[in-house]
Amino acid sequence: MKHVIIGNGVAGLTAAETIRRMDPDSELTLISDETFLPYCRPMISHLLEGAVPAEKLPIRGKNVYAQNRIEPVLGARATTLDVDRRVVTTADGKTHAYDRLLLACGADPRQIDAQGRDLENIFFMRTVQQVRQMLAVLPEVGHALVLGGGLVGFKAAYSLLRRGIAVTMLIRSGYPLSMQVDETAGRMIQAVLQANGLTVRTGASVEAFEGNGRVRMAHLSDGTRVSCDMAVIGKGVFPAHGFVPADRIHTDAGILVDDNMQTSVSGVYAAGDIAEHMDIARQRSWVNAIWPEAVSQGRVAGMNMAGEIVSYRGSLSRNVIRVFDTDVMTAGRVSPRDIDETCRQFSARDLRRNIYRKLVFSDNILVGFAMINDIEQGGALTALIQSRRPVEVEPERLMEPGFNIGRLMAR
């Protein structure tokens, strides 16, 4: 049996380790265009902040490939996939035949449509290499512009502020993290960032960058200008399946997979940010591009590829962010765009302690929550969403300060 995995992110690596554990004899090739050891992608913002050195990023030791008898093909981008001949071709023209293939290519940052986009000091923040490039120019940066108030834009802005750099954040919608939280939480988060020096501009986007080789100025859609010597584009990501034959492998936003993480083509699997499966809270097909789901999906894909038929039970969007002593945790459906007429919403706020709670139910099933501060019990709520168990204690009790899982258990 010959296994080929494309992508050495956490989904690909977890799958490779799982296959090796269950099937000591098969051949295992891992193709990836990143050459860095498998690393913790979310931690690149900590690298930008200066909170951790690059040596702390790898999630496995130096001999991870040898230990697992994986043949690494690094610095190689897969460019074509022939599902009839079962062959992957990389940019250098080399071919890799497989019996089973895993697509674990993650996602690429979304490009923006603005003049002057190719000026220097305009960055994406997806890879360790991109952050290293940012670090190289930071000494000459006084004012940074961050495009997008989503998770990545948010983390970039925070890291740069911590470096003592003035940051302006441009958000198209009305408040930060609008995909993750409701307006009340969004405004609370915005207030914290502003209190720490962030300038937030809402309802505007960049139409053009200007500069002499290097970016100096951004022209906005509202006719104003912002001077900046660096820009970070955080306008979301899209699954990296450009080279996958869409006429053969069914794709929506992501590559559609069944409960065994298999695509519409037998023997071809997908896992991680590239894959689309059932969302537990939304009860529909969805891409949840987060680390813990990439791990779970990689594991399930690996088991199935090794011949152990197991099922994945769906994904749940969730995130936790800590900025300036303020903690934000969200899961499932909270953003107004995820709310419909079947939803019952409950919220509670303690202004003095800057605590906020929001619960969203569909009938009597918890489908989403947002918490600001005192987040330790958030996992109990996440588990409640994942279980889809009807909740029959009053929703208010789940928002009380002393809430713990014991509140849900009868003796």
Partner 1 sequence: MKQVIVHPERCVGCMQCMLACAAAHSKTGSLFTAIAETPKPRPRIHVGAGLYDEGFPNRCRHCDPAPCQMACLPGAIYRHSRTNTVLIDPDVCINCASCAMACPYGVIRYHADPLAPAGKTVAVKCDNCVARQHRGQIPACVEICKVGALTFEERDRAMKRRTEEVARSATADAAPPEQAPGFSLLHTVKKARTEINLAR
Ligand X SMILES: Cc1cc2nc3c(=O)[nH]c(=O)nc-3n(C[C@H](O)[C@H](O)[C@H](O)COP(=O)(O)OP(=O)(O)OC[C@H]3O[C@@H](n4cnc5c(N)ncnc54)[C@H](O)[C@@H]3O)c2cc1C
183 binding partner (options ligand X, partner 1, none; Cβ < 5 to 8 Å by kind): none
**Residue 203 Cβ vs ligand X, minimum distance, rounded to whole Å:** 24
Site for partner 1 in 259-278 (CB under 8 A): 259
* Helix, strand or coil, per DSSP, at residue 54: helix
User: Quick one: 291 or 346, whose CB is closer to ligand X?
Assistant: 291
Q: 76: which strand partners? A: none
Residues that bind ligand X (CB under 6 A): 6-12, 31-34, 41-42, 44-45, 77-78, 104-107, 125-126, 152, 155, 240, 243, 272-273, 289-292, 294, 319
Contacts of 119-122 spanning 24+ positions with Cβ under 8 A: 119/209, 119/210, 119/211, 119/213, 119/214, 119/215, 120/211, 120/213, 120/214, 120/215, 121/211, 121/214, 121/215, 121/229, 121/230, 121/231, 122/209, 122/215, 122/230, 122/231, 122/233
- Terminal Cα-to-Cα distance of the chain (whole angstroms): 51
User: Quick one: 163 or 388, whose CB is closer to partner 1?
Assistant: 388
**Residue 300 Cβ vs partner 1, minimum distance, rounded to whole Å:** 5
From candidates 56, 69, 110, 353, binder to partner 1 by CB under 8 A = 56
User: Quick one: 139 or 406, whose CB is closer to partner 1?
Assistant: 406
Determine the Cα–Cα distance for residues 76 and 8; give it in Å rounded to an integer: 11
User: Quick one: 78 or 185, whose CB is closer to ligand X?
Assistant: 78
From candidates 135, 320, 339, 348, binder to partner 1 by CB under 8 A = 320
Characterize the bridge pairing of strands 268-270 and 100-103.
parallel
CA separation (Å) from 277 to 74, 257, 283, 319? 28, 6, 10, 18
User: Quick one: 99 or 376, whose CB is closer to partner 1?
Assistant: 376
69 binding partner (options ligand X, partner 1, none; Cβ < 5 to 8 Å by kind): none
Residue 299 contacts partner 1 per CB under 8 A: yes
* Helix, strand or coil, per DSSP, at residue 135: helix
**Residue 156 Cβ vs ligand X, minimum distance, rounded to whole Å:** 7
Residue 59 contacts partner 1 per CB under 8 A: yes
Residue 314 contacts partner 1 per CB under 8 A: yes
Are 3 and 98 contacting, i.e. CB atoms less than 8 angstroms apart?
Answer: yes
Tokens of 388: 């889809």
**Interface with partner 1 (CB under 8 A):** 40, 42-43, 46, 51-52, 56, 59-60, 259, 280, 291-293, 295-296, 299-300, 303, 309-316, 318-320, 322, 327, 329, 331, 375-380, 382-383, 386-390, 392-394, 402, 404-411
